[in-house]
């Protein structure tokens, strides 16, 4: 695979900057790894509507609302009908999925704690997404 694109959705820009730094050190089977960033659910939905090449979405849940990230998952899976993009929740707040979003649990490919996110984690996530999309 020549190119692979990641969308980071998080209301903390520092989280994206750290992810970008980590991404520059990982070993993945692509020639060009592209990172994109938006800071809210609405912008994520707009971006994804215009960029079908995204292979991995690293998504915070609690942004402008407590369920903003779930709204993005719902948009991807039920409005765009995209089942190929990997969605990984990266949140610092653990808890239960609100009842209205329980049906989305099977549409989420993984969860990682924001505070424990490492280079190895990103490398595994990207390689897994690449493998499943090849």
Percentage helix, strand, coil for the chain under 3-state DSSP, each rounded to 5:
45, 20, 35
68 vs 31, 71, 74, 127, CA distance in Å?
33, 5, 10, 27
Quote the CA–CA distance of 50 and 48 in Å, as a whole number: 5
Domains of the chain with bracketed CATH = 3-90+104-122 (3.40.50.2300)
C-beta separation of 73 from 108 below 8 A: yes
Bigger pLDDT: 102 vs 77 = 77
Tell me: the pLDDT tens digits for 35-64? Answer: 999 999 999 999 999 999 999 999 999 899
Q: What is the pTM for the complete model shown?
A: 0.91
11 vs 17, 43, 119, CA distance in Å?
12, 11, 21
Quote the CA–CA distance of 35 and 54 in Å, as a whole number: 9
């Amino acid at each position: 695979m020549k190119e692979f694109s990641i969308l980071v959705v998080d209301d903390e820009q520092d989280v994206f900057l750290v992810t970008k730094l980590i991404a520059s050190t990982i070993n993945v089977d692509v020639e060009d790894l592209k990172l994109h960033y938006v800071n809210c659910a609405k912008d994520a939905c707009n971006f994804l509507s215009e960029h079908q090449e995204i292979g991995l979405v690293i998504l915070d849940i609690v942004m402008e609302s407590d369920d903003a990230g779930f709204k993005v998952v719902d948009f991807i899976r039920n409005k765009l009908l995209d089942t190929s993009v990997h969605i990984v929740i990266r949140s610092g707040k653990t808890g239960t999925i609100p009842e209205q979003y329980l049906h989305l649990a099977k549409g989420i490919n993984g969860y990682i704690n924001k505070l424990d996110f490492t280079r190895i984690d990103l490398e595994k996530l990207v390689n897994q997404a690449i493998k499943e999309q090849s």
